[in-house]
C-alpha cells in the first residue's frame, strides 16, 4: 500500500504556523514514521510540485506569484487544508486592503517595484477550493494533529464553530470581561485555542477568527460601554482577522460611528 504523502507550503506569513508543526515534538517524529513528508522547506524536504495526499498551506495569497503557486498546489493535492489566520482570512497583512497598500510597501521596501503584489491580500479559499480551515495565530498544534489523523483515516474532520466562551467556561477560567480585568473578544471568537490567554489572566484578541452566528454588535456595545472609544472597538475587530467578513463588517460599522467611511 503506498505511503501517505504530505506537503507543507508557505505563502505570505511569519512561519509561526509551521513552527507550531515543528513544535509537535515526539508526535512529529511519529508522524514522519507513518507518512512521507515530501515538501516542508522549513524542515528540510523540498519538492513543491510533487503530488500529495494532503497539502497544509500557511500564509495569505498576496502576490501574483502566490496566485500561480496556489493553483499548482491545489492541482497536485488530494486534500488541501489552510492553516492559520493568514491562510484562512488573510492575516495581519490584509490590513493593507483597507489602506493605501502601495504607500505601505514603499515605506517598508527600498525597491517595491520588484514585488508583484496583488491589490487585495486574500485567504487561500478566495483562489482555490479548500477542504478544511484551521484558524488561529498560530494554529493550535493539537488541532493540526487531529486534522492530520482525520484526513489519514478518511473520516470527516472536526470543525469547531462555537465561541471561545464555551471552551473558557468548561476549563473553569475566570471571566476577564465580567471582572473588568481585561477586554475580551471571546464571545465572538471561534473556540480551539484552549483558552490560553484566559489561563494567564488575559482577554482574547480574536486570533481564531469569528465563531458562527455571533453577535458582534452586542459585544461592541459592551466594550464601548466599558470605556473603549469607537476607534478602539473598531480596532479590536480590525486586527489579526480584519479580513474575515464578520469582523470586517463589525469594524467598519464602528468606524462609521465616528463619521468615517469605514476604512
> What DSSP state is assigned to residue 84?
S
Question: Which one of 80, 85, 147, 193 is in contact with ligand SF4 (CB under 6 A)?
Answer: 85
Candidates 11-19, 148-156, 210-218, 227-235; binding stretch for ligand SF4 (CB under 6 A): 11-19
Asked if 90 contacts 121 with a C-beta cutoff of 8 angstroms, the reply is yes
194 touches ligand SF4 (CB under 6 A)? no
255 touches ligand SF4 (CB under 6 A)? no
CA geometry: angle 212, 218, 220, nearest 5 deg:
100
Site mask for ligand SF4 (CB under 6 A), range 124-163, x = bound: -------------xx-------------------------
Question: Which one of 4, 14, 112, 262 is in contact with ligand SF4 (CB under 6 A)?
Answer: 14
Q: How many CB atoms lie within 10 A of CB 140?
A: 18
Candidates 10-18, 48-56, 124-132, 251-259; binding stretch for ligand SF4 (CB under 6 A): 10-18
177 touches ligand SF4 (CB under 6 A)? yes
Helices (H) and strands (E) in the chain, counts: 12, 7
> What DSSP state is assigned to residue 190?
B
Q: How many CB atoms lie within 10 A of CB 253?
A: 17
Question: Which one of 7, 8, 17, 248 is in contact with ligand SF4 (CB under 6 A)?
Answer: 17
62 touches ligand SF4 (CB under 6 A)? no
Candidates 79-87, 105-113, 148-156, 245-253; binding stretch for ligand SF4 (CB under 6 A): 79-87
- Cα 196 to Cα 191: distance, rounded to the nearest angstrom: 11
CA geometry: angle 70, 73, 76, nearest 5 deg:
155
CA 142 to chain centre: 15
Parallel/antiparallel/unpaired status of strands 132-134 and 77-83: parallel
Candidates 14-22, 44-52, 102-110, 111-119; binding stretch for ligand SF4 (CB under 6 A): 14-22
CB of 16 to ligand SF4, least distance (A): 3
204 touches ligand SF4 (CB under 6 A)? yes
Consecutive H or E run containing 148 = helix 141-153
- Cα 33 to Cα 37: distance, rounded to the nearest angstrom: 10
66 touches ligand SF4 (CB under 6 A)? no
CB of 221 to ligand SF4, least distance (A): 14
Asked if 209 contacts 244 with a C-beta cutoff of 8 angstroms, the reply is yes
Residues lying near ligand SF4 in the complex (CB under 6 A) are found at 13-14, 16-17, 58, 84-86, 91, 137-138, 164-165, 168-169, 173, 175-177, 184, 186-187, 198, 203-204
Amino acid at each position: 500500500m503506498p505511503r501517505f504523502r504530505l506537503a507543507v507550503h508557505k505563502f505570505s506569513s511569519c512561519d509561526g504556523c509551521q513552527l507550531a508543526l515543528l513544535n509537535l515534538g515526539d508526535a512529529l517524529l511519529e508522524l514522519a514514521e507513518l507518512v512521507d513528508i515530501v515538501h516542508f522547506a522549513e524542515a528540510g524536504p523540498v519538492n513543491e510540485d510533487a503530488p500529495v495526499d494532503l497539502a497544509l498551506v500557511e500564509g495569505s495569497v498576496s502576490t501574483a506569484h502566490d496566485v500561480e503557486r496556489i493553483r499548482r498546489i491545489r492541482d497536485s493535492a488530494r486534500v488541501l487544508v489552510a492553516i492559520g489566520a493568514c491562510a484562512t482570512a488573510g492575516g495581519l497583512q490584509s490590513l493593507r486592503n483597507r489602506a493605501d497598500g502601495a504607500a505601505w510597501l514603499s515605506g517598508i521596501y527600498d525597491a517595491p517595484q520588484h514585488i508583484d503584489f496583488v491589490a487585495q491580500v486574500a485567504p487561500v479559499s478566495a483562489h482555490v477550493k479548500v477542504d478544511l480551515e484551521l484558524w488561529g495565530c498560530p494554529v493550535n498544534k493539537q488541532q493540526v494533529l487531529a486534522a492530520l489523523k482525520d484526513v489519514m483515516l478518511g473520516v470527516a474532520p472536526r470543525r469547531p464553530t462555537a465561541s471561545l466562551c464555551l471552551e473558557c467556561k468548561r476549563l473553569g477560567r475566570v471571566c476577564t470581561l465580567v471582572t473588568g480585568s481585561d477586554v475580551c473578544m471571546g464571545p465572538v471568537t471561534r473556540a480551539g485555542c484552549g483558552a490560553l490567554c484566559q489561563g494567564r489572566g488575559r482577554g482574547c484578541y480574536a486570533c481564531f477568527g469569528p465563531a458562527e452566528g455571533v453577535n458582534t454588535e452586542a459585544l461592541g456595545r459592551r466594550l464601548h460601554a466599558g470605556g473603549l472609544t469607537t476607534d478602539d472597538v473598531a480596532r479590536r475587530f480590525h486586527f489579526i482577522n480584519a479580513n474575515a467578513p464578520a469582523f470586517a463588517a463589525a469594524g467598519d460599522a464602528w468606524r462609521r460611528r465616528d463619521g468615517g467611511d469605514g476604512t
